[in-house]
Amino acid sequence: MKHGKKYVDAAKLIDRTKLYDTTEAVETVVKTATAKFDETIELHVKLGVDSRHADQQVRGAVVLPNGTGKKIRVLAICKGENEKIAQEAGADFVGAEDMTQKIQQENWMDFDVLITTPDCMGLVGRLGRILGPRGLMPNPKAGTVTPDIARAIKEAKAGKIEYRLDKTNIIHCPIGKASFGAEKLQENLDTLMGAIVKAKPAAAKGQYIKSCAVTSTMGPSIRINPTKFGA
């Protein structure tokens, strides 16, 4: 694969034979983010589990202390008093049957997070084929199906992200923007990694954190020493 000049120059800052500690990795990834836009910094973690087995799934959500740097559009599907609560909590869109019909009939997707209450899961369940492939289906483990809808909305707005394994047993998550600077990015990284380590399934055997890397949107990846996380 042929890379552009900026990528090639950024790659020169990285020692491919080295496993970095988190502080040096984050400082380096900020230096490699030289695009004209504010690049997203991502964390990629390969786990020593098998996602094909239900008892080895790793999934959850965590509020990053410094947010993600992205404005999150929240859709709240709820009824009655919860509609007013959701609006006051800052939801961008609120409704019930009207919103589910808009998604079904118009393929409307102008939101980043869908939060609902348990009594509306019957409505939301009909949207599984639409929301599931896009990673937007609410889930109790992620805190997006909850009776406390105000708290869920505020956390989503504050920078709550969901982490989950893909089919290759890797978790991919944003940890902020290059403009955050190394210190804030490391706080976010440490918080996310702490949650992933805590979520280790009892059925997982051997080394849990197989590999770990950070990268910017347009830059090369920087490998982190997985033993630093004690799992």
Q: What is the pLDDT of residues 172-227, one digit of tens each?
A: 999 999 999 999 999 999 999 999 999 999 998 889 999 999 999 999 999 999 98
Report the phi/psi class of residue 181: left, alpha or beta, with left for phi > 0 and alpha for psi in -120 to 50.
Answer: left
Coil, helix or strand for 32? helix
Chain segment 110-135, per-residue pLDDT in tens: 999 999 999 999 999 999 999 998 88
Q: Is 79 helix (H, G, I), strand (E, B) or coil?
A: coil
Q: What is the reported pLDDT for 1?
A: 62
Mean pLDDT of 135-158: 93
Please tell me the predicted confidence (pLDDT) of residue 214: 96
Q: What's the whole-model pTM score?
A: 0.82
pLDDT at 2: 65
Short-list 99, 90, 208, CA closest to 154: 90
